[in-house]
Structure 1
Amino acid sequence: MDSSVNITILGPGAVGSLWACYLQKAGHNICLWTRNSTPSEQLLSLSANENSSHQFKCNDKQALNDCDLLLITVKAWQVESALLPLLPSLSKETILLFMHNGMGAIDDLKEHINHHPILQATTTHGALKENNTNVIHTGYGNASVGPFNPLGKQCQFIQDVLNHSLPSVDWNPEINIALWKKLAINCAINPLTAIHQCKNGQLAQPDIHQYVMNICSEVHQVLQEENIEWTENELVSTVTQVITATSANYSSMNRDCFYQRKTEIDFITGYLLQRAEFHGISAPTNLSLYNQIKQLEENTL
C-alpha cells in the first residue's frame, strides 16, 4: 500500500467531517457515505487553525469497493443499520475502524464482521457541524486507536495515517481500557447535562455535584469487576478536570435531547447497567438517570 490510503467515512457528522477534512489535507483519498446513499458531491469548510475547503464524493460505490479503511463515525445506535448494508461491497481486507461514544454497539455484529480487521478509537477532539457545509474544530485533543480482534492487531500502521493527519494519535493495544475510562466519564457528565439542560461546567455546582460523586462511586464498582485499574479518586479527579476543561460546552447527549433526537444512552449508561447486573452490582443513581433519559426520548420522539 502506498502512502495514500483509500478511506470511506460512514457518517459525516461533526466528528466524521472533521476527520474527512484533515485526512484529505494529508493526501488521502476520501469518500463520504451518507444516509441517503445517492451519489453526489459535498463541499465542506473546515474552521480551525488554518481554515480550508474540501470537496468530496459521496456514496461512490467504486470507492467503497476499493476502500482500504472504513471509518465508522455514526452514533452508536446507528452502527448496525448503517454498516450491514455496506458489507457486501467491501473487500475482506477492508479495515473497519469504529469511532463513536459508548460501548456494546459492535458486540452483536461480531459474527458479520469478524473476517475484517477491526479497530476501535476514542478521541477528545471537539467538533461542531454548524450546517451541511461548515465544520468547526472547537477543541484540540488527542486520539487512541487499538485492535478489537486479532486481525486488527496487524493494522498498527493506521495509527501513523491518523497521527500524520490530526495529531496526536497513539496506538493502544489495550484500547478496551481507554474505552471504559471514556464511558465512565460520559456516564458522569452526559445524562446529568441532558436532564438539567445545562453546560458541563454547571455540574460543579454543589447540588448537582453530589450526583456526580454517586455516579462515580457506582461506576467504579463496575470498573473493578471489569479489571480496569483506576482508583475511585482518579476517576473523580478526571471527571472534575473534564467538567472544568469543557465548562462552556454542551455534551452530545444534551444536544440530542435539546433537538429531540435519539440519544446514545443505551450504549453509555445502558451498557454500564448491563455490566453492573452481570456482576451483581446495584447502581440506583445510574438506573434513575437512564430511566429519565428514556422517558425524555419517549416524550419527544
Structure 2
Amino acid sequence: MDLPVNITILGPGAVGSLWACYLQKAGHNVSLWTRNSIPSELPLSLSAKENSSYAFSCNNKESLSQCDLLFITVKAWQVESALLPLLPLLSKDTILLFMHNGMGAIDAIKDQISHHPILQATTTHGALKESSHKVKHTGMGHTVIGPFNSLGNQCQFIQEVLTHSLPSTEWNPEIKVALWKKLAINCAINPLTAIHRCQNGGLSQSDIHQDVVQVCCEVQQVLQQEEVILSQSELLLTVNQVISATAENYSSMNRDCFYQRKTEIDFITGFLLQKAKQHGISASTNQTLYNQIKQLEENFL
C-alpha cells in the first residue's frame, strides 16, 4: 500500500499487540482501544528476529472516529460488549475486521453493524504476551481474510495492507470454509489440552488421542452437512500436523483455565453443538468436553 491506513486495534492482547507492532512498522497509523477507555500511551516491545519498540496512543476518540479499519482482536465472548459502545464514534465507512477463535460472535450483533463493511480473518501466527508491554512473535504463520457481508467484498485491498505488514495473507471469498476448518482444529485441541492441563503435544499420547479421533469424527459429520469438503482422514491429518507443529505451545483455552478466566468454549465446541443439533447429529464426545469445561469455569468464576 502506498498510503498509510488509519487503524485502531480493539483488544491489544497477544494477537492484537503483534499486529499493532507490525502494522506500525509498515508505516500505518495505529492506535489502540483498551477495556479501561482512559486516554493514555502504551509502549510495546516486539520480540521477533529483531527486537523493536513502538509507542501507541490508547483510547483516543479522535483516532477512533478517523480510523479506516477497526481491527477487533478481543475474545469471541467479549465482542458484543467491547464493540457496541464504540459504534456511535465510528464512521459508517469504517471497515470492521474480526480476528478471534470460534464462530457465532458476529451473528449475534450483525443487524447492528450491517451498515459497515465487515471482514473476518484467521491466523496461524504465534503470539505470546509476556507482559503488558512485551509481545513475542513465537512462530511465523499464515493469515486468511475474507468478507462477511457484501460491503466487505469490496475491501480486498486490506489483504495487501496485512500481507505487507506481516506476511503472508491470503484473500478467500469463501472465508467461512477457512473458519470452519480452524474451528474443527480448535474443537480437537483446545478443550482436551485444558482438561488434561497439557501442552498441545500431550494430545499425541494414545489414551488422549482416542478422544482427538472421536472429536474429529463428530466434527466431520457436521462439516459435511455445512457443505465444507473435508474428509475425516484429512481432518485428523491436519489436526495431528498442528499438534506436532505446536507441540510445545499451550492452547488459549489451556491458558484461560490455568489463569481461571472465562474461556471461548461457547463459540468453539458450543457453536459446533448448536450446528450438530440443527442437523440431527449426535456429538456426545464434544458434548462431554463442553460440559467439563463449563464445570471448570463454574469452579473459578
Partner of 2:94: 94
Partner of 2:13: 13
How far apart in 2 are the matches of 1:114 and 1:73?
Answer: 19
How far apart in 1 are the matches of 2:110 and 2:263?
Answer: 23
More displaced stretch, 2-11 vs 92-101: 2-11
Equivalences, count: 301
How far apart in 1 are the matches of 2:263 and 2:211?
Answer: 20
Partner of 2:297: 297
How far apart in 2 are the matches of 1:206 and 1:108?
Answer: 39
Partner of 2:49: 49
Alignment of 1:148-187 (within 5 A): 148-187=148-187
Are 1:104 and 2:120 counterparts?
Answer: no
How far apart in 2 are the matches of 1:263 and 1:136?
Answer: 22
How far apart in 1 are the matches of 2:294 and 2:128?
Answer: 25
Deviation at 1:3, TM superposition (A): 1.2
How far apart in 1 are the matches of 2:13 and 2:109?
Answer: 22
Instruction: Describe the superposition over 1:213-263 as per-residue Cα deviations: whole angstroms up to 9, x where unpaired.
Output: 000000000000000001111000000000000001100000000000000
SS for the counterpart of 1:130 is strand
Partner of 1:122: 122
What amino acid sits opposite 2:27 in the alignment?
Answer: G
SS for the counterpart of 2:131 is coil
SS for the counterpart of 1:144 is strand
Partner of 1:83: 83
SS for the counterpart of 2:151 is helix
Give the ranges of 4+ consecutive aligned residues of structure 1 lying more than 2 Å apart after TM superposition.
none
SS for the counterpart of 1:70 is strand
Partner of 1:203: 203
Deviation at 1:291, TM superposition (A): 0.3
How far apart in 1 are the matches of 2:13 and 2:36?
Answer: 14
Partner of 2:251: 251
Unaligned runs of 5+ in 1: none
Partner of 2:27: 27
What amino acid sits opposite 1:43 in the alignment?
Answer: P
How far apart in 2 are the matches of 1:145 and 1:233?
Answer: 26
How far apart in 1 are the matches of 2:249 and 2:26?
Answer: 29
How far apart in 2 are the matches of 1:288 and 1:44?
Answer: 40
Instruction: Describe the superposition over 1:164-190 as per-residue Cα deviations: whole angstroms up to 9, x where unpaired.
Output: 000000100000000000000000000
What amino acid sits opposite 1:200 in the alignment?
Answer: N
How far apart in 2 are the matches of 1:272 and 1:50?
Answer: 40
Instruction: Give the fraction of aligned pairs with identical amino acids, expressed as a percent.
Output: 75
Deviation at 1:51, TM superposition (A): 1.0
What amino acid sits opposite 2:124 in the alignment?
Answer: T
What amino acid sits opposite 1:176 in the alignment?
Answer: K
Note the aligned Cα RMSD (angstroms). Answer: 0.7
Instruction: Describe the superposition over 1:246-295 as per-residue Cα deviations: whole angstroms up to 9, x where unpaired.
Output: 00110000000000000000000000000000101000000000000000
Deviation at 1:2, TM superposition (A): 6.0
**TM-score, reference length from structure 1:** 0.99
How far apart in 1 are the matches of 2:294 and 2:16?
Answer: 26
How far apart in 1 are the matches of 2:82 and 2:252?
Answer: 20
SS for the counterpart of 1:53 is strand
Instruction: Describe the superposition over 1:35-69 as per-residue Cα deviations: whole angstroms up to 9, x where unpaired.
Output: 00000000000000111000000000000000000
What amino acid sits opposite 2:240 in the alignment?
Answer: T
How far apart in 2 are the matches of 1:39 and 1:2?
Answer: 30
How far apart in 2 are the matches of 1:115 and 1:281?
Answer: 35
How far apart in 2 are the matches of 1:218 and 1:231?
Answer: 11
How far apart in 1 are the matches of 2:209 and 2:28?
Answer: 44
What amino acid sits opposite 2:138 in the alignment?
Answer: T
